[in-house]
Structure 1
Amino acid sequence: METRKAVNTLGDTQILKEDRLYIQSWLDAYFDSPHRDILMSLPAKMNEDDAGVPVEMQDGEVDEEGWVHWRMLDSAVTEEQIDELAEALIRPRSDACGAAFSVPPLYAAYLSTRYVLNVYLRYDGCTIALPNLPSDSPLEEIRKLWSAWPTLIEAGYIPFASYEDGAGPVCWDANKPDQERDYAVVWFDHESLLDEQQYSREKLELHAQTLCSSFRAMLMQSASK
């Protein structure tokens, strides 16, 4: 049993390394854009409670309006930190609906490869915002996202991004895994989630709008545009 576990760990480590290389290449291509100056300019963080660009990520001087160019940095987030967050906020809730969930490897690579801001997937005419990963609190946005939707998680829908300027959460359907430890992707309009405090899986299925077969497929399709 220990040997099998060791082999699995080594295999997972290699997959994560390959996925991190893919994320590096994807981010480089994403920001190699005519819109680079716009994408890589945001308000600077002026105090501890600000959500702006941390000092370590600032690239140049803050302008008179408080904006600054920013740069990507190598991340120090570990797989263990992601697992611990999922263990605390997802697994106790998703287990309630019988859905054994683990964070897809490519998404774990996104969370742990670089500190990065302003990442949007353009998919079938819509824009999907991935969590910002600032150097001073890289997992804070995903922590808030997982904390904000306990009823979705309990029904097996795990949020990982936001649809069209906060129109609703984009989620994995933990009941529909694929062969690469990824999941089908759906989204929920906020308005469809306002009327009730508790949601059954059956009710939520009526509101789940299909987006893609997996996060990996979504990322690859976005890269091809």
Structure 2
Amino acid sequence: MDIRAYIKNGFEVYYERYNQVSEEGFCRWMRPDVPEEMKVVDIDAEWSVWRMIPSAVTEEDIQTLEKEFGLNFPEWYKAFISTYHHYFDVIPEQSVKEPLNNVRDMYNPSLCSLGYLPFSWDEEYGKIFCIDLKNDNEENCAIYEIEHEILFDDEADIQASLDYLYPNFKAYFDDTFLQI
């Protein structure tokens, strides 16, 4: 399977699913301060509908991030963070300027030191999603969530506080972006 093509398709399907402008002039993909190369249309002086554009994130950029996190990222995740520049609301956005800054902001020393790669959050419920990288086989690197508050408690048992969500990153991606 071509993972990059699969991720690309999933992002495109997800984007198109919510790419309608309502009668009131609202679109899920509207935001302020959209870089010129990502603009589809300006709604007013401040808000624009954005579009995905091919990512400029390189393998070297990812290797630098891996060193910062102290983890080797799975191929699915590498493709995930290097396929498109976007402003999706279910994962850290990746603008044209500093595309990995929001990914970098996901770093958590407690999780990373235990072999978990934090990659997204649920802002509504305050949960962080992470990939268990302790398994060498990427198909068995399960996805967990954890309450972010637990990470501030020095007495907390982080391992016991993780809740299983998906068997691997592909299952997470399918459910989130392709809804299968």
Q: TM-score range by the shorter chain?
A: 0.7 to 0.9
Query: 2:58 matched to which residue of 1?
Result: 78
Superposed, which structure 2 residues align to 1:36-47 within 5 Å?
Answer: 36-37=20-21, 38-44=27-33
Task: Write 1 or 2 for the structure with the bigger share of helix.
Answer: 1
Distance 1:34 1:135, change over 3 A: closer
Distance 1:110 1:34, change over 3 A: closer
The question of 1:134 aligning with 2:95 is answered: yes
The question of 1:192 aligning with 2:150 is answered: yes
Distance 1:36 1:78, change over 3 A: farther
Q: CA deviation at 1:165?
A: 3.1
Q: Which residues of structure 1 form unaligned runs of 5+?
A: 1-14, 45-52, 92-100, 120-128
For 1:67, give the aligned amino acid.
W
Distance 1:86 1:36, change over 3 A: farther
Separation in 2, partners of 1:153, 1:210 = 17
Query: 1:57 matched to which residue of 2?
Result: 38
Aligned partner of residue 32 in structure 1, secondary structure: helix
Separation in 1, partners of 2:84, 2:42 = 22
Q: CA deviation at 1:29?
A: 0.9
Separation in 2, partners of 1:69, 1:144 = 25
Aligned partner of residue 28 in structure 1, secondary structure: helix
Separation in 2, partners of 1:173, 1:28 = 27
Superposed, which structure 2 residues align to 1:147-166 within 5 Å?
Answer: 149-165=108-124
Picking from 109, 118, 124, the partner of 2:88 is 118
Separation in 2, partners of 1:182, 1:80 = 26
For 2:78, give the aligned amino acid.
A
CA contact (8 A) 1:75 1:112 kept: yes
Query: 1:204 matched to which residue of 2?
Result: 158
| Equivalent residues, number | 174
For 2:128, give the aligned amino acid.
P
Q: Which residues of structure 2 form unaligned runs of 5+?
A: 22-26
Distance 1:55 1:165, change over 3 A: farther
CA contact (8 A) 2:118 2:130 kept: yes
Q: CA deviation at 1:54?
A: 2.2
Separation in 2, partners of 1:138, 1:54 = 12
Structure with the greater alpha carbon radius of gyration: 1
CA contact (8 A) 2:128 2:147 kept: yes
CA contact (8 A) 1:142 1:160 kept: yes
CA contact (8 A) 1:105 1:181 kept: no
CA contact (8 A) 2:138 2:168 kept: no
Distance 1:166 1:137, change over 3 A: farther
RMSD: 2.2
Aligned partner of residue 145 in structure 1, secondary structure: coil
The question of 1:214 aligning with 2:168 is answered: yes
Q: CA deviation at 1:166?
A: 6.1
Length-normalised TM-score, structure 1: 0.69
